[in-house]
Amino acid sequence: MNGGNLFGDVPRALAEEQFTELLAAPNLRVERIVSTGQANPPGFWYDQDWAEWVVVLVGSAGLLIEGEAGLRVLGPGDYLHIPAHARHRVEWTDAAQPTVWLAVHHREGP
Amino acid sequence: MNGGNLFGDVPRALAEEQFTELLAAPNLRVERIVSTGQANPPGFWYDQDWAEWVVVLVGSAGLLIEGEAGLRVLGPGDYLHIPAHARHRVEWTDAAQPTVWLAVHHREGP
């Protein structure tokens, strides 16, 4: 039975965001993401084949969903379900502390 | 696009544990659980058809997995993957503060 701690070994500074796979199954992938101020480059959009349920546990981030006028600012506990192919981008992440995300990627459909 | 906050509206005292469904899909169910000192009654075991990836975010709990000699004590950030039909029970949850769990139930297999 595999386990661990989401808040263990959180790096304080990273050249790039850190993605750690916690669980992988045919239709499911759970990962921890740590950001330390990173953002997506101008013009970059995530366009994912799987849906993503995502929560910020520590820190904060500004997320832009294509077609929405304003940013969604996520702080501790804020979660969002992003359907497959709903284009989105991370405009900013907390520069003062690491941001710890938990992402549940899942293949939709029957 | 549905969202919310995991740490919002956490009750301080409950007659029974509170289960809140955050996402439901054919092979996936994400739920928040709030415990305020509850435990499973003597002799009760969970025996679930789906696997469960579970994390304690706030508070603490003692989990017994059938066949293991000792309790697994879970605190903030501690996660565990419980395969389908791995019998387990909650021996205790924090009596001094609410325990907030996030559970990702998923149907295994292709």
Could A53 and B30 be called an inter-chain contact, meaning their C-beta atoms sit closer than 8 Å?
A: yes
Nearest to A8 among B22, B65, B77 (CB): B77
Q: pLDDT tens-digit profile of A65-108?
A: 999 999 999 999 999 999 999 999 999 999 999 999 999 999 98
Which residue of chain A has the CA closest to B7? A77
E strands of chain B, at which residues?
3-5, 18-25, 28-35, 51-58, 61-65, 72-74, 78-82, 88-93, 99-106
Average pLDDT, chain A: 96
Separation of alpha carbons A109 and A27, rounded Å: 10
Q: pLDDT tens-digit profile of B86-98?
A: 999 999 999 999 9
Nearest-CA distance from A19 to chain B in Å? Answer: 16
What is the SS3 assignment for A15? coil
Q: What's residue A110's pLDDT?
A: 57
The residue-averaged pLDDT of A39-61 equals: 97
Reported as a pLDDT band with limits 50, 70 and 90, residue B73 is: very high
Token pair belonging to B21? 């469904």
Q: What's residue B108's pLDDT?
A: 83
Is the pLDDT at B62 greater than 60, yes or no?
Answer: yes
Percent share of chain A, pLDDT over 70: 98
Q: What's residue B1's pLDDT?
A: 81
E strands of chain A, at which residues?
3-5, 18-25, 28-35, 51-58, 61-65, 72-74, 78-82, 88-93, 99-106
- A6: Cα separation from own chain's centroid: 14
Q: What's residue B110's pLDDT?
A: 56
Separation of alpha carbons B36 and B93, rounded Å: 7
pTM: 0.95
Q: pLDDT tens-digit profile of B9-52?
A: 999 999 999 999 999 999 999 999 999 999 999 999 999 999 99
Could A25 and B1 be called an inter-chain contact, meaning their C-beta atoms sit closer than 8 Å?
A: no
Neighbour-count burial of A8, counting CB atoms closer than 10 A to its CB (0-12 exposed, 13-18 middle, 19+ buried): exposed
